[in-house]
A and B are shown apart, each in its own frame.
Chain A
């Protein structure tokens, strides 16, 4: 039964997250690119979206940090990785290139897909293919070494 409760709260979280993306205008790639275009007519909106989200989320993580499990009894599964390594930096730099090419990152792309944009479907299909390819390569690489390194997303 617990999985049902977890799914219900995750659905609510997704619904609220997607609504926030719509309200903030971040589901619109044109607006995201307006933020990334520092040398053009710059739209600073995205910075305020992050500021608003971080202000609330910081309180949530502070509250969560003092608990052993959640209100639904789920264990706290927060990323514990601390290393700043090559994967982190190269992966993030490459992500920024993909983001800047079209103005989509994963969340807004899924919201735009829900809004019925065919172009978002193309982006999401390619993104899922990329994630699947990554997983295949990771699995093949870790097959030889004991204990596959699970990396929190």
Chain B
């Protein structure tokens, strides 16, 4: 991995965890997410930004509620299909409850303040080449990297 070493100050080398890396299922899952985005834009004329779809429920307008609830219901029902098929999804949450509540509050407020999350900015906005969404995506990736670095390598170390 030495030849991938860069002059960036934080991690001087990146070690890929080949045992955890799942390129095929990641790419296939990504394509499936892209198909979902396609359905929502070509049929509903909407961007599949999940924080925006959920947050819009708190700004109710006539005729604008049912599709949002239906989309959220689809997200919640999806894992049940995998349970029924005998392939229950792996969901490992290491964080404790106080951290989950703090993180949930931050994500709720910040995604509305910043106008989107991983789906709205990261997938939809980036695929529309929106400069706004590209900036947002770089910003939340950067602070996500820093947050995990602080927790795992500064505090836990």
| A positions within 8 Å CB-CB of B | 3-4, 6-31, 33-34, 36-46, 48-61, 63-64, 69-72, 74-79, 81-84, 87-107, 109-115, 117, 119-120, 122-135, 151-153
B32 close to A77 (CB less than 8 A): no
Q: What's the nearest-Cβ distance from chain A to residue B131, in Å?
A: 6
Chain B, Cβ-Cβ closest to A130: B108
B 45-66 to A, binary, CB cutoff 8 A, 1 in contact else 0: 1111111111110110001001
Which B residues lie within 8 Å of A101 (CB)? Answer: 95, 99, 102-103, 106, 147, 151
B75 close to A110 (CB less than 8 A): yes
Which A residues lie within 8 Å of B101 (CB)? Answer: 122-123, 125-126
Which B residues lie within 8 Å of A110 (CB)? Answer: 50, 54, 72, 75-76
The winner among A8, A49, A90, A124 for most chain B CB atoms within 10 A is A49
The winner among A22, A76, A90 for most chain B CB atoms within 10 A is A22
A6 to B93, CA, bound (A): 34
Chain A, Cβ-Cβ closest to B139: A92
Supply 23 A–B pairs (Cβ within 8 Å), ascending by A.
A9-B44, A13-B48, A21-B78, A22-B82, A46-B26, A59-B38, A64-B41, A82-B132, A89-B135, A92-B121, A95-B110, A98-B102, A100-B148, A101-B102, A103-B94, A122-B104, A127-B54, A128-B108, A130-B105, A130-B109, A130-B110, A131-B55, A134-B109
Is B7 located at the chain interface by the 8 A CB criterion?
no
Which A residues lie within 8 Å of B5 (CB)? Answer: none
A42 close to B42 (CB less than 8 A): no
Chain B, Cβ-Cβ closest to A55: B34
